[in-house]
Structure 1
Amino acid sequence: MADEKISRNVAVTAEQEYFQGAISAAPLPVEKTEKRLPSSEGTSIDEEKAIPVSVSKLEETSYHDDPNIVDWDGPDDPEMAMNWPSKKKWTMTLLLSTLTLLTPMASSMFAPSVGQLLAEFHSSSADLGTFIVSGYLLGYAFGPLFIAPMSELYGRLPVYHISTLGFILFNVACAKSTNFPMIIVFRIMSGVCGCTPLTLGPGSIADMFKQEVRGKILSIWVLPIMLGPTVGPIVGGYLSEAKGWRWDFWFLVILTGAVFLLSLILQRETNPMTILQRRVKRLRKSTGNPNLESAMKSTKTPKELFILSIIRPTKILIFSPVVLVFSIIAAIVYGTVYLLFTTMTQVFEDRYGISKSNVGLTYLAMGIGQTIGTISFGLVSDRILARLAKGGEMKPEYRLPPLIVGLFLVSSGLLWYGWAAQYANAWIVPLLGQVIFGAGIITSFMPITTYMVDAFTPYAASATAANTVLRSIGGALLPLAGPKMYAALGLGWGSTLLAGIALGSVPIAWFVFKHGEKIREKYKLNL
């Protein structure tokens, strides 16, 4: 039994590639010691039982020349998030999913209330109203560049908590705003804080779940990203009609505050480097030995680590061709989503006579499609990965076939919606196109997200942050062109233009599927 407790090298397998990447970045030796570590008085202490053990006995049961290096007690160490009980993992996942529902909900919830705001602040500018809605996504664009590195430096948990608290406070500020500059600035700042669950979620899931089941878990986590903006206008429409536009923000404050309290009680740190560093701190205190160090610790100074972490998302975005390409594709699709969010209210009010309080219900069609897409992706993604791997290496490129299908669905849904909205008398016809479009959104985003996590597992947060930057810029800026585009081209040809752009991304996705591994190897980054 004593031998079984001896720490050993963590096997380089698919389920532990996260730790392989993290350990490879550390200059210290990776051989492991037993959890009995020497104190400054020349004895060692069993951390769990607090029983002193002689140094000579420790040396007899250690594979490491330096007993001051603290590492995992083998690949089955229960403190690793990957080895947590399923109940604990799912608790963390559900908390993340709830946060990932609320913060994207804030992005579109205000769309039906723009008219009330403009009237109260004595403006008739449609562009200004659109920017107040989509400007939230500018926070999504720039926040990840700082949030992802902070999570890799100081752990995910404190970043989650501080960002959630900031999101609550900035929404209070939005509710109390008295002019346009105030609400625009506070909306952007709430977006900076609100992007945290989207940025760190894939990294947290990569911490807890093995690669072969990650697709299914990510499909559950990612649904709220798109379902939130779909549900938001429904809630916002009824709230603003009954209580005024400020209650859109108070509603978010109440719900997020409740989730924040649950997170303080239930949420735990998942980043392996942070968990191991906390073990070091405990052992330093219990043994009195200040020389103990984590096996994952870098030789770089804190300042150097901070700078390296800050530039990492930008470095990935600029110097990794596959990340840049997929970020552009995600920006196109995401921008199209928010373009529709900011124009659908007017389309269904003017053309079909749906009231302001009920017009938010039209967004449900997209949500139904997203749910169908999520279920479908969850059922097939991991199976496709296993089938293409054929018992061998599970390459990130094996996640991409559903992306091709998703882009076809996006194009088809746009064409259906645009031409139906222009000519059809029945409101249900364009909404059927929205169902197809919604399914395409999920089956486009999910392969990109899982690809980023699988290809950059040790730095999944930075990789998804890089993707989020361009995606959010597209979501913030493309809607500004929507009203003018539809006014010039009409709903039919305007949607055809967007569908053509999405369809043009299909050959690019196929090329990366076939040759992505060679591209990744050629442009391998030193992160």
Structure 2
Amino acid sequence: MPATSIDYEAIPGDSHLVNFGEKNGEQGKVVLNPTPSDDPDDPLNWSPRRKWTAVACVLVYTLCACIPTAAIYSVLPNIEEKTNITLSDLNSGTGYMFLFLGIGCLFFQPMALQFGKRPVYLFSMLATAMICVWPPYTKSNGEWIASKILQGFVGSSMESLPEISMSDLFFEHERSFALSLYGLTLLGASFLAPFVAGFISEGQGWEWVMWWCAILGAVAFVFLFFFMEETNYNRKLRVDEATGKLLSLHSRKQQLRSVVSNIDEIIGRPATSKENHEKDQAKINDLEESSKNDEYAENIYIANQVSNVEVVNTSAYINAHYTKKTYWQKLSLLGGRRKKFLLQHYALAPFLMARFPVVLWAGFLYGSSLVWFNVLNGTAALILSGKPYNFPSRSIGTAYLSPTVFSFILFFLSGLSSDWLKVRVARWRGTGLSKPEDRLWMLLIYCVLGCFASILWGVGAYYEIHWFGLVFGMGLLGGCGIFAIAASATYVVDTYKELDTEAMVVVILIRNCMSFGVSYGITDWVTNLGYKDCFISVAFLCFAANLTFLVMIWAGPRLRDNQKHMYWSMVDRYRKLGMH
């Protein structure tokens, strides 16, 4: 029977992803991690349709919250001309926005854990739509900065909450694909928004760029209200007292089928009516719809995943517990609310997670990728609108199609290949052991391509090469960001899954503080150094920052081992408080 207490000697992040035991029929099969319960309403057990509807809602929110943050990049010269706010001040305002996109996580992430993710998503979407009405009316630098700070604060949920929603829905061996989808949406929105904004600005004026963002946000709010489901879930694992095995939807389906077929003989009455038989069959079908995991081996290492383990008598339990939420229950704004008020503990937990080097490095990696993204955005209008290119706003916006295309291309490398690599390395070891560092080898691609793209963009602009070379370099540099998004998020979630929400707040806060620093000084950086020297330094800083993954591959396992007691003590304490 699985152990019911935390093993303090377990190294966080290490898992047996592939089964190499002696069980017949399970040799070499992927082990589900986290272990799913036997409840159809467990997000890990949702049917494909229900699960991908939830993913679509997260992506819609990400798209419509991100677009207003990036739409102005191609129309900065227009804003400068109409408002008399300098380009340097405009870039400083976006820097403050990115700063509060991080700081806001300290407020909204605990709120999502205490009251549910669904109400936080809905509030963030509606508030973002309303804030977008303000910038067109700003006439001074102070008003501009205030509007950007407020926009960043209410939109901060898009920075850290979608990663956690994806981890709620997917297993370890599927996680990189899901997080890469989020990264693709984030980058795609960031690049497509300036493209569309350029045309809007030319046809209707730059003010309508923000007003259309407000309209888009309002439409998205209505969509999310009727389709987004809560993914907060208090997982309970049940063990069969007779066999000592974990109950899954698959095992419940088989036992329920047996109970239904023999119920008349057991209770000594005539066969049930056709109507009752159909009801019983509906119970089986309800379980079959969500039971998609029987091709995987069983994960018996559950004590460190959840504290709520119950031993049950299956003959009395299986037939009684089978219903799923109705549509209206799924729309409830209270479905993810904790019974105990623990907001103060949720607010403090991210600061305690900052003690773990793995979390700090993931924040640095994510932040460094956004630095190059901000350098690109901060100089795109400057380079392409100047001599010899003289691009109008519409053409500058069109140039942003390039990083959009590269994001789609590189998505398959960062997502599908990363998940494949994770399983392949576990099988290669011959023991099925998987380490969170296994995915980091994908950053080798970023090291090479990011360095090349930075030189092509900046040095190419200095020597006034053909515009196609600049647009190609711009696309490659922008698209490479998906590697850091997926690598940093999966590394943290794979390592500290039990406290991943708190850890991601630290990652995003570091990332956005770095982004703020660069956005605040990007104009002076380029002006003082010139395109050539500035982007040569960017290229090698990018190379060096990404190459630090080699340090983590060497030191990461040792760091996780040294801090395992600290981590499991936090997990145990928070579980006793009722937080997880």
Tell me, in whole angstroms, the C-alpha distance in 1 between the residues paired with 2:401 and 2:87: 24
Equivalent residue number for residue 76 of structure 1: 38
SS in 1 for 2:405: helix
Q: Does 1:271 align with 2:232?
A: yes
3-state SS in 2 of match to 1:75: coil
Tell me how far 1:497 sits from its aligned partner. Answer: 0.5
Q: Does 1:141 align with 2:102?
A: yes
Per-residue deviation, residues 156-195 of structure 1 (Å, max 9, x unmatched): 1111112212112222233444543233212211211212
- State the distance in 2 between where 1:444 and 1:231 align: 20
What letter is aligned with 2:100? G
SS at 1:118 equivalent: helix
Where 1:342 maps in the other structure, the secondary structure is: helix
* Partner of residue 73, structure 2: 111
Farther-moved stretch of structure 1 (180-189 vs 449-458): 180-189
Equivalent runs, 1:460-475 vs 2, <5 Å: 460-475=500-515
Give the Cα separation in 2 of the matches to 1:254 and 1:458. 38
Report runs of 4+ in structure 1 exceeding 4 Å deviation.
8-12, 274-277
Matched, 1:347 2:383: yes
Aligned residues between the structures: 440
- CA shift at 1:508, angstroms? 2.0
In the alignment, the residues of structure 1 paired with residue 223 and residue 407 of structure 2 have an alpha-carbon distance, to the nearest angstrom, of 27
Matched, 1:126 2:87: yes
Question: 1:74 offset after TM fit, Å?
Answer: 8.1
- For 1:325 and 1:246, how far apart are their aligned partners in 2? 39
The secondary structure found in structure 1 opposite 2:125 is: helix
| Per-residue Cα deviation, 1:369-399 (whole angstroms, up to 9, x for no partner) | 2111112222211111001112623321122
CA displacement 1:241-293 (0-9 Å, x = unmatched): 2222221211111111111111111111111139999xxxx9xxxxxxxxxxx
What is residue 30 of structure 1 aligned with on the other side?
none
Code of the residue aligned with 1:310 in structure 2: it is A
Q: Residue type matched to 1:314 in 2?
A: F
Moved more, 202-211 or 500-509: 500-509
The alpha carbon displacement at 1:204 in A equals: 0.9
1:168 aligns with 2:160: no
Supply the distance in 2 between the matched residues of 1:196 and 1:243 (Cα, whole angstroms): 30
Q: CA deviation at 1:429?
A: 1.0
1:59-78 deviation line (CA, Å, top 9, x unaligned): xxxxxxxxxxxxxx982210
Q: Which amino acid aligns with 2:519?
A: P
* Aligned mates of 1:209, 1:158 — CA distance in 2: 22
Aligned mate of 2:534, from 482, 494, 497: 494
Alpha-carbon shift at residue 361 of structure 1 (Å): 1.2
Q: Name which of 344, 350, 362 aligns with 1:307.
A: 344
CA distance in 1, matches of 2:44, 2:555: 31
- Show the counterpart of 1:69: none
Counterpart code for 1:420: G
Q: Which amino acid aligns with 1:371?
A: F
Aligned residue identity for 2:482: I
Q: Distance in 2 between matches of 1:432 and 1:117?
A: 27
Name which of 543, 547, 550 aligns with 1:503: 543
**What amino acid is aligned across from residue 427 of structure 1 in structure 2?**
W
Counterpart for residue 17 of structure 2:
none
What is the distance in 1 between the residues matched to 2:127 and 2:236?
25
With the length of structure 2 as denominator, give the TM-score of the two structures: 0.71
Q: Distance in 2 between the 1:505 and 1:341 partners?
A: 20
Equivalent of 1:154 in 86, 104, 115:
115
Letter of the aligned partner of 2:82 in structure 1? E
C-alpha distance after superposition, 1:207-262 (max 9, x if no partner): 11111111112111221111111112112222122222221211111111111111
Per-residue Cα deviation, 1:94-147 (whole angstroms, up to 9, x for no partner): 111122122222222112333333333334x23112123333212212011111
2:455–2:535 Cα contact (<8 Å) kept: yes
State the shift of 1:91 in Å: 0.8
Aligned equivalent of 2:296: none
SS at match of 2:391: coil
The 1:155–1:459 alpha-carbon spacing in structure 2 relative to 1, beyond 3 Å, is farther
- Say which of 471, 480, 497 aligns to 1:431: 471
Equivalent residue number for residue 205 of structure 2: 244
Over 3 Å counting, the alpha-carbon distance change for 1:10 and 1:429 in structure 2 is: farther
CA change 1:86–1:267 in 2 (3 A) is same
Pairing 1:43-442 to 2, within 5 Å after superposition:
75-123=37-85, 125-273=86-234, 302=341, 305-316=342-353, 318-351=354-387, 352-390=389-427, 392-442=432-482
| Aligned AA (1:320) | F
Distance 1:132 1:243, change over 3 A: farther
How far is the alpha carbon of 1:319 from its aligned partner? 0.6
Q: Structure 2 regions of 5+ residues with no counterpart?
A: 13-34, 238-307, 309-322, 324-336, 572-580
Kept in 2, the 8 Å contact 1:326–1:467? The answer is yes
Does the CA contact (< 8 Å) of 2:136 and 2:207 recur in 1?
A: yes
Matched to 1:389, the amino acid is A
Distance 1:237 1:463 in 2: 37
CA distance in 1, matches of 2:5, 2:438: 23
* CA shift in 2, pair 1:506/1:337, >3 Å: closer
Distance 1:347 1:122, change over 3 A: closer
**Code of the aligned partner of 2:156:** C
Distance 1:354 1:310, change over 3 A: same
Q: Please tell me whether residue 518 in structure 1 is matched to residue 577 in structure 2.
A: no
The one-letter code matched in structure 2 to 1:446 is A
2:485 alignment partner, SS class? helix
1:480 to 512, 520, 542: 520
Aligned: 1:447 with 2:490: no
TM-score by length of 1: 0.78
1:486 shift after superposition: 2.0
Query: Quick check: 1:407–1:440 contact (8 Å CA) kept in 2?
Result: no
- Does the aligned pair in 2 maintain the 1:10–1:74 contact within 8 Å? no
**Secondary structure class of the residue paired with 1:98:** helix
CA, structure 1 residues 182+488, in 2 after alignment: closer, same or farther (shift >3 Å)?
Answer: closer
Shift of residue 311 of structure 1? 1.8
TM-aligned CA distance change 1:340 to 1:439, over 3 Å: closer
- The answer (yes or no) to whether the contact 1:418–1:494 under 8 Å persists in 2 is yes
Determine if contact 2:125/2:220 at 8 Å carries over to the other structure.
no
Tell me which moved more, 96-105 or 341-350. 96-105
CA distance in 1 between partners of 2:177 and 2:73 (Å): 32
The amino acid of 2:409's aligned partner reads I
Which structure carries more relative contact order (alpha carbon 8 Å, separation 6+)?
2
Q: Is the 8 A contact 1:97 1:222 kept in 2?
A: no
Q: 1:241 is aligned with what amino acid?
A: E
Cα distance in structure 2, aligned partners of 1:520 and 1:99: 34
1:297 deviates by: 8.0
Letter in 2 for 1:416: L
